Structure 1
Amino acid sequence: MRLFDEYGAPSTAGDIAYIDYLFLGDYVDRGQHSLETITLLLALKVEYPQNVHLIRGNHEAADINALFGFRIECIERMGERDGIWTWHRMNRLFNWLPLAALIEKKIICMHGGIGRSINHVEQIENLQRPITMEAGSVVLMDLLWSDPTENDSVEGLRPNARGPGLVTFGPDRVMEFCNNNDLQLIVRAHECVMDGFERFAQGHLITLFSATNYCGTANNAGAILVLGRDLVVVPKLIHPLPPAITSPEASPDHIEDTWMQELNANRPPTPTRGRPQAVANERGSLAWI
């Protein structure tokens, strides 16, 4: 909402006639307003179906958002019966979401990255929806879960601390993919970055993160990218709000804060990009989401 307040929201009185809006996933989890977020975006999609576009993130999956906040939010706020019904319905919808977007055949947008398996755009196009994480597609897992390596000096493929079987990919992989598909740029999300956006592979990949002060601890800026007709990319930023003057106990949201605080304590947020990550635990589960 702050991004819409600052830079404008889709409306017939505004820019919707000549601007498309593309969102890169993770609409639920890791916050106490997932229901408002996904409901607003779906309402915008219904109102402007040709101009508002949503692709899928790794949290748009039942096995993930059952653990990281969305399921418990639905139950806490709607009651067990209606909450579980809503959660199931939303996840059925998530299985149909597109997995990437191609802009003017020159810029590809996805949630995670290209990982080890994705060499051609057609591999993404060939994925049949609806699709679940249980389908076992390596392409799907790479699209939703992989990350760039720490910086441009780290090439090739490396193990990803998020979990077994996941990788980070170097700038050489980015350049190879762009050359294979005649692309200028990859835009992806999936990691908190301090300035809201971060360039990689000499500018051929951008990580974009729109939530400010991720999980109430990162103190990061959020950003959107504006693309002109010439495909020049212009970042637009918003900065974290200053701390509230009143104590958390005085906040009307304090009761809702409790379950969110417990969740973050039990499943710590993904470290901001560039900061050390934990390794996968002994059970082989996903250490960071």
Structure 2
Amino acid sequence: MTVPFRIPTTDLDYCLEQLLEHKPPKILPSDTIQQLCHTLKSQLLAVPNIMPLQSPITVVGDIHGQYHDLLEIFQIGGSPPNTNYLFLGDYVDRGYYSVETISLLIVLKLRYPERIFLIRGNHESRTITTNYGFYSEVLSKYNGSIEVWSYITDLFDYLPLGATIDGKIFATHGGLSPSCQQLDQIRTVDRLKEVPHDGIMADLVWSDPDPEIMDFKLSPRGAGYLFGYDVMQKFCHDNDLVQLIRAHQLCNEGYVSYWQGKCLTVWSAPNYCYRCGNKASVLEILSSNYLSKESDSNGLKGKVNKQGVLPGQYFNVFEASPENNEDTSSGKSVNGINSIDNNTGERDIFQSFFQEKPNRQYIDYFL
């Protein structure tokens, strides 16, 4: 039987308090996760496959359960609701804190629905999470129950597949598809299902750019495609775009710019898998003071800066958090269920948490 849920703001603030003000963070009870997921699914039903967003906005790449590095992102980029965020997927697996990471993002999306935007990555999948960590983590943290895994993976089916920013930038998790030449084709996809093995939906979450080719080529990942310069140029021209922004690939320096800024990869999980030693970044898009008609045959040559981004854009690069370094050597993957006390305070716990903290500041085909 379907139970109608309503979640008061004070309850969402209390969930944020449990996740932010305790070390280790207190994981939310199963029935709370169920309630949060049910409410967010209802809201996401009204969200199109491609969300029309506006700058200023900060774009975040893969997080992969690195909860403390997610907190670091909010420290550098600014805390909601003061900063708009677009997350490009891959919230779970690999890291020790997938439960806490996705729980925080769900609560933030419900608390600040016009400030936090989430799209789907290839790891937002029942099949992938069964094999790469999230399923096992839920079993460990919820006393052998898979209910929380079921609630959250069901929610993944409702996540949008991409976003446009100022009508000129297309953002998705992976890349382009030989089955898709127009954004309108993505808008008509039935996304309310597990990610299929092939087709437009699969390619959006699995594909990668390759500067050595011009057209499409089968991906070494076993799903999706590699796409080259000609494909990128044609897609942008046909859809009146200036740029593709995506995540999905580990970058040693935290980001990569292809084809004079025509395609950007943003990677937001520093020291990935607690062993790669890579930097991470978020992409801050402050404004859109460029037009696609100003592009020349080389893309946007002459307009990109030394980071390979367009005017009004900036990669904010950061290192792994101190907690990431601790987890690298000791591993802290099991927190267990924590009891919660009654608290109905009105203050914005998320913002106050970060106001008290001081400021700090090779591509691989990982699955």
How do 1:1-289 and structure 2 match up within 5 A? 1-11=71-81, 15=82, 19-81=83-145, 84-134=146-196, 138-149=199-210, 151=211, 153-163=212-222, 166-230=224-288, 232-240=312-320, 248=329, 251=330, 253=331, 256=334, 273=363, 288-289=366-367
Pairwise CA distance, 1:218: 1.5
Give secondary structure in 2 for the equivalent of 1:113: coil
Q: In 1, are the aligned partners of 2:72 and 2:321 still within 8 Å (CA)?
A: no
What residue identity is the alignment partner of 1:221? K
Name the CA distance, whole Å, in 1 between partners of 2:108 and 2:266: 21
Higher Cα radius of gyration: 2
Summarize the Cα distance change of 1:90–1:245 in structure 2 as closer, same or farther, 3 Å threshold: closer
Deviations 1:101-157 (A, max 9, x none): 0111101100000032221101111112312224x65001110101111x2x42212
Pairwise CA distance, 1:246: 11
Q: In 2, are the aligned partners of 1:115 and 1:147 still within 8 Å (CA)?
A: no
Give secondary structure in 2 for the equivalent of 1:236: strand
Matched length: 248
Identity %: 34
Pairwise CA distance, 1:186: 0.4
Name the CA distance, whole Å, in 2 between partners of 1:185 and 1:245: 38
Pairwise CA distance, 1:7: 2.8
5+ residue gaps in structure 1? 258-271, 278-287
1:266 is aligned to none
Name the CA distance, whole Å, in 1 between partners of 2:326 and 2:73: 23
What residue identity is the alignment partner of 1:159? L
Name the CA distance, whole Å, in 2 between partners of 1:238 and 1:172: 32
Give secondary structure in 2 for the equivalent of 1:43: helix
Q: In 2, are the aligned partners of 1:175 and 1:201 still within 8 Å (CA)?
A: no
2:50 is aligned to none
Q: In 2, are the aligned partners of 1:172 and 1:201 still within 8 Å (CA)?
A: no
5+ residue gaps in structure 2? 1-70, 290-311, 336-361
Pairwise CA distance, 1:166: 3.0
- Higher RCO structure (Cα 8 Å, ≥6 apart): 2
What residue identity is the alignment partner of 1:160? S
Q: CA RMSD in A?
A: 2.2
Q: In 2, are the aligned partners of 1:146 and 1:160 still within 8 Å (CA)?
A: yes
Q: In 2, are the aligned partners of 1:118 and 1:142 still within 8 Å (CA)?
A: no
